[in-house]
Copies of this chain bind each other. A is one copy, B any other.
């Protein structure tokens, strides 16, 4: 590095929001911002309400996944259940609701694991991860037009799928790495 920067130099300051788009569902914001060297630039990003992901532990070392078609990538993904936070909802409530709606389970305990940022370059989304234990099947009620196939895998099978590049969804991969640490008593 020719010049050493301090953290203060990294900060970008908003001048004005110059556009907001909301074509159908995705909200996008365009800001004029000023860098620490007084240079001006544009920052554009997707606005997201946040989401919750659930690690549904059927029994120790055995988890419930869903298969879902993801249109932007035109392929079916193997994922852990997750969903967007509704307005005014706490993320743990989202986790309970999505576990019930997507796969039809209630949980005796819903434990906070961590929060992750999937798209820091052009989005403000945060995903809160919860570990659901003591599951009870009560019947599901997926959203209209939401097609899912549930699938049970052991952690070992799932980790093998990560290794073989078959589970590539970041939220699912991270949840599995964390679950492995938790199961081993490391975290």
Contact = CB atoms under 8 A, between A and B. Distances in A.
Interface of A: 1-2, 4-7, 9-12, 19, 21, 23-26, 28, 30-31, 33, 35-37, 39, 41-46, 67-73, 76-77, 79, 104, 114-126, 139-140, 144-145, 147-150, 162-163, 165, 168-171, 173-174, 177, 181, 187
Residue from A10, A77, A145, A171 whose CB has the most chain B CB atoms within 10 Å: A10
A30 B28 CA distance: 13
A149 B10 CA distance: 8
Contacts of A163: 181, 187
A147 B72 contact: no
Residue from A4, A21, A23, A121 whose CB has the most chain B CB atoms within 10 Å: A121
Contact of A170 (B33, B71, B147, B171): B171
A73 to B, nearest CB: 5
Given A10-B68, A122-B46, A149-B7, A170 B116 contact: yes
17 contacts: A1-B148, A5-B149, A7-B76, A9-B147, A10-B76, A10-B148, A24-B44, A35-B147, A41-B145, A46-B72, A70-B117, A72-B121, A73-B126, A117-B168, A117-B169, A126-B168, A170-B170
